[in-house]
Amino acid sequence: MRADLGGFAADGVLALAGFGVLWGAGLLRREPLRLLRAAGLAYLVGSAVVPLALIALLTLGVPLDLVTFLAVAGVCVAGGAGARRFARGREASTDGGDGAPTGAVDWWVAAACGALLAAFFISGLTAARASPLDDFDAWSIWTLKAAMLWFNDTLPVGFFTGESYEFAHQDYPLLLPVFEAIHFRAAGTMDTRLLDTHVWLFLPAFVLAVADLAWDSVRPAVWAPVLLLVAVASEVQAQLLTAYADVPMAIFGAAGALLLGLWLARGDGRHLALGAILLAGAASSKNEGLMVAAAVLIVAGAVVLVSKRAAVRPLALAALGTGVAILPWRIWIADHGIEGDLPVFKGLNPAYLWDRFDRVGPSIEALTAQLANQGKWSYLVPLAVLVGAACFAARVARPLAAFYLGSGVLMWALLVWAYWISPLPLTFHLDTSANRVVAAIVFVAGVAIVHLSGQLLASARGDGVTRR
C-alpha cells in the first residue's frame, strides 16, 4: 500500500506547502472553487520551493529524509499562515485583471476543452504508470542521482567527483533528482515504476495554474483551447513519459514568465515574487533552465527600463532572490571542483567564438526546424508571434508583447550560443537534444497567447488596456 500511495502523499504535501506560500502571499480565498483552481499553481510552487530548500540543506550536510521533507513543507505552511495573520488587513485575492466578461459560449467551450483535457490527463496517467523508466538520460542523469540520494541521504562526494560517474553530468542541478528522491522516501522503496506518474502531474498542474491566473482577465473561450493545444502537443507527452527534466523545466519557466507578465500588466508584487520562485525552479531543473530564467529576467528588465523605471528596483530584488535560491548548489560544486561541459567563460571570448563560427549555421537550422515542426508543437509558436504582432499593430500592451516575444527570441539565441561553444560534436549534440531544449520556448509561447489575447480582447471592448 505504501509503495503505491506514498508517492502521491508526497505530491499532496508539496501542494500543501505551495498552498502555504500562496496563502502567505494573500492569493487565496477560503472558497472551494478558488482553492481547487489554485491547486495547480500550489503544486508548482511547492515543487519548486521545497526541493530548492532541500538542495540548500543538502549542501550544508542536512540529510534528505522524510523528517526534513515534512519539516520544510511545515515551515512553508506555518510561514504562510503567519504571514497572513501579520498582514490580515490585506485583501486575499487574485483579482485585479481586466474583468473579462463570460457568456454561455465561453463556458460551453471551457467545458468541452475541460472534458477533453480530463480524458487526456487520465489516459496519460495510465500510460505513465505502464511506461518503464528505460530512457538513457533518465537513468544516467536524473534518476541515478535520485538513487544516490536514496542510498546515502546526503550528497555523496565520491559520486559527484568520481571519474567513473562523469557520464552523469555531475554539475547538473538537483531539483528533479531531489523530487524523485522525495517520492522514493515517501514510498519507502526505490521503485521506479511510478516515477513517470509523478512527473506527469506537472502537466495538469501547469494547465490548471495558467487557467487560474488567466481566470479574471481572459475569456475561457480563449484560454481553454490554447491550454488544450499545449497539453496535447505530441512532443510534450513523448518527453514527459521519458521522465527527463526538459518539460518540467519548461513548465516552471513558462509559469514564471506568465507571473512576470502579470506583474508587468498589473504591478502586483506578489506575482513578481512567485515568478522569481518558479524561475529559480526552472534554473534548478536543468542548466538550460538557467538560460530560460536569465532570458525572462533580462527582457523584463529591458521592458521596465523603457516603459516604467520605477519597477526596476523590485525586479532587481526578484532577480537577486532567484540567484540566491540557486546559489547553494553552484557554491557546492565549485567548492568540490566539479566543472560542467559548457565552457561559459570561453564562450565570452571573441577569438574562441570566431574559431567555432561554423557551428552557428547548423545550430540555427536545427533549432528553427524543431520549432517549425508543428506536428510536434501544435502551432503554438507561430500563433504567439501572430498575437504579439497584433498587439504591436493595434498599439495594445506593446511592452507586454515585447516581453513575451523578446523572452522567446533571447532563449533561442542563448541556445544557439550554447551549441556554438559546446565541446561536444555538433551533429551528435543537435541530434540528441535540439528537440528537447526548445520546449521552454514553446511553453512560453503558450502563456503568451493566453495573456496577450486577453489584452487584445479587453482593448476591443474598451476596458482600459493601455494603448502604446
pLDDT digits (tens, 9 = 90+) for 11-44: 999 999 999 999 999 888 777 788 888 999 999 9
Whether the pLDDT of residue 112 is over 60: the answer is yes
CB atoms within 10 A of CB 310: 8
Which pairs with CB-CB distance under 8 Å and at least 24 residues apart come from 127-134? 127/241, 128/196, 128/197, 128/199, 128/200, 128/240, 128/241, 129/193, 129/194, 129/196, 129/197, 131/196, 131/241, 132/193, 133/192, 133/193, 133/195, 133/196, 133/243
Amino acid at 256: G
CB burial of residue 92 (10 Å; 0-12, 13-18, 19+): middle
Average pLDDT over residues 399-413: 97
Give residue 133's pLDDT band: very low, low, confident or very high (50, 70, 90): confident
- Domain range list for the chain: 2-84+108-460
Q: What is the pLDDT of residues 315-329, one digit of tens each?
A: 999 999 999 999 999
